[in-house]
Structure 1
Amino acid sequence: MRLPSFLMVRNVDPHHLQRYLLPQEEDAVVIRRHPAMLLRHIAEAVLGLILAGVLSGLVAQSTVLTVIWAVWFLLLGRLAFKVYEWSDEFFAVTGVRVMLVHGLVTRRVDMMPLSKITDLTVDRSVFGRMLGYGTVVLESAGQDQALSKVRFVPEPEGIYLQISAVAFGHGDD
């Protein structure tokens, strides 16, 4: 089964990536974070719908019904915003640095130069192993970096190997 293109996590072609690349940079890995990061918001919208439906059967007053459904539409609107926000962010690894570009209202670019990475770790919870995502932890020597953890990375072992190959060489030398 093939995922719709907006759900694809690999081979993402962000239209605004070139804006953040230096002239000598080429993107090696560009991914979208795993859709599992939306599960909490989806669950809240579904539970809100169920609660609104149950309360609609119990309450007869129109003003209260209006408030109940307005609150649910706010939950649905927040879910739509989170989905759009997820679809517009990406994680990129170039030959020079690692970047996480995110945010709609305020665009934020978190970056760490590959030369500063001293250690690379992959953390996967049981739930993450079942759904196919994990956290990539980028560590640098004694410094706090803007980008130290990237959560909800799809296929984190593969991404780990790709970052390692770019950061530490292919081992061919």
Structure 2
Amino acid sequence: MPIPGFLAVRNVNPHHLQKYLLPQEMDDDTVLIRRHPAVFLQQVFETLGALILAGVLTGFVHNSTAVTVIWVGFLMVASRLVFKVFEWSDEFFAVTKVRAMLVHGIVTRRVDMMPLSKVTDLTVDRSILGRMLGYGTIVLESAGQDQALSRVEYVPEPEAIYLDISAVAFGHGDD
């Protein structure tokens, strides 16, 4: 059974990305991904902790107003997780033959971009947790300048994405 489209991390079809691309940018070589779902691991654990805490506190507190406040607090923590998942599902990292860009933000849309002509080096960083869960960080380095987009964290399958970006940025090597 295939996973739903909003959960896919590779070969995603962002409906709003077209407005940020030049006509010649979208082709078969374009790398288009969504960050790894591990991006909201912290919120998942905080929500589970809040659920456990709310359940334990409810057992000790017998005032109905206090119980209501406890569960409203839990709902606030849980709603933050839901917002993070919604935000993640609307965020994309794209590498075209012209530039790399990260489109993110729900309330305030932000597009971080680096021209591929400025990229001098690519690096893949993976923590132990990242190796266990299948994500890493792609570092796009440029000569002597700070760029708006230099690190993309929680990249799924970072070695494969690294090779895809290298092929787009530096050529396929078959010329």
TM range (shorter): over 0.9
- Aligned match of 2:33 in 31, 36, 61? 31
Q: Deviations over 1:23-64 (max 9, x none)?
A: 221151111100001111111111100100000000011121
Q: Which residue of 1 aligns with 2:88?
A: 86
Q: Which residue of 1 aligns with 2:150?
A: 148
Aligned identity (percent) is 73
Q: Which residue of 1 aligns with 2:65?
A: 63
Q: Which residue of 2 aligns with 1:112?
A: 114
In 2, Cα distance between the equivalents of 1:60 and 1:153? 46
State the aligned residue count.
173
Helix, strand or coil: the match of 2:147? coil
In 2, Cα distance between the equivalents of 1:23 and 1:165? 20
Q: Which residue of 1 aligns with 2:15?
A: 15
- Aligned match of 1:167 in 166, 169, 173? 169
Q: When the two structures are superposed, what TM-score results if normalisation uses the length of structure 1?
A: 0.97
Residue identity opposite 1:115 in structure 2: S
Question: Where do 5+ consecutive residues of structure 1 fail to align?
Answer: none
Q: When the two structures are superposed, what TM-score results if normalisation uses the length of structure 2?
A: 0.96
Residue identity opposite 2:17 in structure 1: L
Helix, strand or coil: the match of 2:168? helix
- Aligned match of 2:105 in 103, 106, 109? 103
Q: After the TM superposition, which segments of 4 or more aligned residues of structure 1 sit over 6 Å from their partners? A: none
Residue identity opposite 1:64 in structure 2: A
Question: Where do 5+ consecutive residues of structure 2 fail to align?
Answer: none
Instruction: State how 1:49-60 maps to structure 2 within 5 Å.
Output: 49-60=51-62
Give the drift of 1:128.
0.4
